[in-house]
Structure 1
Amino acid sequence: MSESTWSPSSIETDRRAFRRSRTVRSAAVSAVSTVVVLGVLGWLITHSAGWPRVQETFFSWDKAVESFPAVLKGLWLNIRLMVVCGLSILVLGLTLAIMRTLRGPIFFPLRLLATVYVDLFRGLPLLLLLLLLGLGVPALRLPNVPTELVFWGAVAIILSYSAYVAEVFRAGIESVHPSQRAASRALGLSNGQTLRHVVLPQAVRRVAPPLMNDFVSLQKDSGLIAVLGAIDAIRAAQIETATDFNYTPYVVAGVLFLCLTIPMARLTDRVARKQGWHGAGGTL
């Protein structure tokens, strides 16, 4: 029978119809249950005794419109910080991972240096690093040393996150089976060529979802630079709040950060599922 005249049997047709009906039924049940749960929660919240005060203090539309331009302007600093720090973290983290996986006694000093670096900056809280570098170093007034708060805030974020990213890269490098290296060496590739053309492409592909999760965290933690006084989204919201003690600008800043992180989180889940991480993101 030719392919153009083929048609599914009645059993297969019934099977497909049953699957479609189950899919439609599941979608309808999910939609109805979601609407019911959200409706009940919304009714309970909006009819509680303290809701008018909460609405006025945290969800004032007029205050949100008034503070939005300042908070959005501050968010631009967060975005620039995320891009610059993200690229620097990838380069430094990969360098540290390669240093930790170098073989042979001659590379022991490099392995030791990378290990000390990772242990040190993974053990120090990011907030403490921000205070030490962002406030401490400019106070020294050293010659030819930058004193900008944003610069030292970015340095603190890079130092902290590169230690975590280095371990992610190292896990990917060590996950490549030793036979891959042996086969590359048998084909005449040098150690450097093996690392560049065989090991690193596989390692980076395997750890792409964890790296993207770290970038999602970086998007949020860039707001910690506000403790140094830099006018980012959080600091701008704090300034707007201080005028009348209405906390709506903080909510505006939170919504803007969500607009950045949620798409990245969904993209991370999609990449993870394509990589075979079937548990990533559940069914969303």
Structure 2
Amino acid sequence: MAPQVSIDLARVAQPRQAARPAPVGSARTLLLVGYLLSALTTALTGYAAWLTITVAETGVWEIILGLATSVVVVLALCTFVPLARGSKQQATSARALAADNIVEARTYRSRAGQSAWIAIGSCLPIIFIATFTLFLLANDHAVQTTFFDASFMAKSFVAVTVAFGENIKIAVLAEILVLIWALLIALARLAPGKAGRPLRWLATAYVDVFRAVPSIIVIYLVGFGLPLAGVPLFSDLGPMWSAVLALTLTYGAYVAEVYRSGIDGIHWSQVSAARSLGLSYGKTMRFVVVPQALRRVTPPLLNDFIGLQKDTALVTIIGTVDAFTQAKIYSSNYFNLSSVTVVAILFIIITIPQTRFVDRLLERDARRQRNKG
């Protein structure tokens, strides 16, 4: 047994071999892709700038496109700056690797790759801008003349903007009614017990039907069907109120589901605590559950209302003189769609700030949840 013990001790006494570090990669391929993409971006923007000078329609658009493409060319050239910095970092990484300084080699290799990605990421939006400019100048700048005629946009701007007020009015009135109507539908879907079963069935059927039928069909049926049927009160609504009613019916189904998801998200202990204090089901929903649910569903509610605002353009089919209707009048008279572009710009102006506001609310809620966690 003694020889065996001595052999084992000798084996244990042998020094362990140090683990070999993982190899240090290289960012040369990524930098090469970046250089090729930057060169392509510069060539594309240069070509767009040259076409702007030689093809674009003289006047305001020639100045605007000329300045824009000049700035884009400068931005394309600037993409070589992070690539040059990345090349220096890659060289530093190679020298550190030759000196067996693994940590420094990996650090500068990571920085070189990051610089290459910065250049590649910067090229993509510049390529999009240059491609869009070429699209405008296609077919002897026919696209620009058809959709972005500056003089025609200025001519129709006042009339279209005034008519856009009708879209705003319809959207605001419909949103107010939707908030009330959808909450009633959501509460009906959550009616408790056997006595509430008929209400649940009716509310569920309403939500299923109006979420399935396109908005334009509901608007058409309400705007033309009710006057044809001679329904008392509803037949004399007029185009504007018919549009409000149709949008309320349609978006009431969507918003009711938003309300219901918020109410279902309230922990059951809140209801139990309220009922143990003697509150009825109605008071529990009114004072405890619904206020908490409203705070939770504010971002999705705003998203639905953004969609409602866009759908106000559909009311043109029932004769409401909104911005789109006014733009179509100009387009049919002058055979140019620049007035419709004005409508699109107006919707963008009122929608994007709301979208950013929704994003801020979502970030705030996420931050609040992280702090609680």
TM-score normalized with structure 1 length: 0.82
Deviation per CA, 1:193-248: give whole Å up to 9, x if none.
Answer: 22122211221111111111001101100110011121101000000111111010
Deviation per CA, 1:31-56: give whole Å up to 9, x if none.
Answer: 954763355335533554x2511111
Letter in 2 for 1:178: W
Corresponding residue number in structure 1 for 2:286: 196
Tell me, what secondary structure is at the counterpart of 2:278? coil
Tell me, what secondary structure is at the counterpart of 1:188? coil
Contact 1:59 1:251 in 2 (8 A): yes
Corresponding residue number in structure 1 for 2:250: 160
Contact 2:223 2:318 in 1 (8 A): yes
Work out the number of aligned pairs and report it: 253
Corresponding residue number in structure 1 for 2:338: 248
Q: Rate the CA distance shift 1:185–1:87 in 2: closer, same or farther, 3 A.
A: same
Q: Rate the CA distance shift 1:236–1:38 in 2: closer, same or farther, 3 A.
A: same
Give the superposition deviation at 1:79.
0.3
1:56 aligns with 2:145: yes
1:185 aligns with 2:271: no
Matches of 1:39 and 1:118 in 2, distance apart?
A: 43
Contact 1:141 1:147 in 2 (8 A): no
Matches of 1:120 and 1:45 in 2, distance apart?
A: 42
Q: Rate the CA distance shift 1:95–1:242 in 2: closer, same or farther, 3 A.
A: same
1:132 aligns with 2:221: yes
Matches of 1:30 and 1:269 in 2, distance apart?
A: 27
Give the superposition deviation at 1:90.
0.7
Letter in 1 for 2:324: I
Percent of pairs identical after alignment?
A: 37
Matches of 2:242 and 2:211 in 1, distance apart?
A: 18
Give the superposition deviation at 1:189.
2.5
Matches of 1:143 and 1:103 in 2, distance apart?
A: 34
Contact 2:136 2:142 in 1 (8 A): no
Unaligned runs of 5+ residues in structure 1 are 1-24, 279-284
What does 1:208-223 correspond to in 2, within 5 Å?
A: 208-223=298-313
Give the superposition deviation at 1:187.
2.6
Corresponding residue number in structure 2 for 1:41: 131
Give the superposition deviation at 1:128.
0.9
Give the superposition deviation at 1:119.
1.5
Letter in 2 for 1:109: P
Q: Rate the CA distance shift 1:226–1:100 in 2: closer, same or farther, 3 A.
A: same
Among candidates 88, 105, 110, match of residue 177 of structure 2: 88
Letter in 2 for 1:37: I
Q: Rate the CA distance shift 1:176–1:51 in 2: closer, same or farther, 3 A.
A: farther
Deviation per CA, 1:37-77: give whole Å up to 9, x if none.
Answer: 355335533554x2511111111111001111111111000
Contact 1:45 1:51 in 2 (8 A): no
Q: Determine which structure has more spread, i.e. the larger CA radius of gyration.
A: 2
1:257 aligns with 2:347: yes
Give the superposition deviation at 1:266.
0.8
Among candidates 320, 334, 341, match of residue 230 of structure 1: 320
1:78 aligns with 2:167: yes
Among candidates 174, 180, 187, match of residue 264 of structure 2: 174
Give the superposition deviation at 1:140.
2.9
Matches of 2:140 and 2:303 in 1, distance apart?
A: 35
Where relative contact order (Cα < 8 A, 6+ residues apart) is larger, the structure is: 1
Corresponding residue number in structure 1 for 2:51: none
Give the superposition deviation at 1:29.
6.3
Contact 1:74 1:231 in 2 (8 A): yes
RMSD: 2.4
Query: Which range is displaced more, 203-212 or 254-263?
Result: 203-212
Contact 1:137 1:147 in 2 (8 A): no
Give the superposition deviation at 1:167.
0.7
Give the superposition deviation at 1:108.
1.8
TM-score normalized with structure 2 length: 0.63
Q: Rate the CA distance shift 1:41–1:112 in 2: closer, same or farther, 3 A.
A: same
Give the superposition deviation at 1:147.
4.4
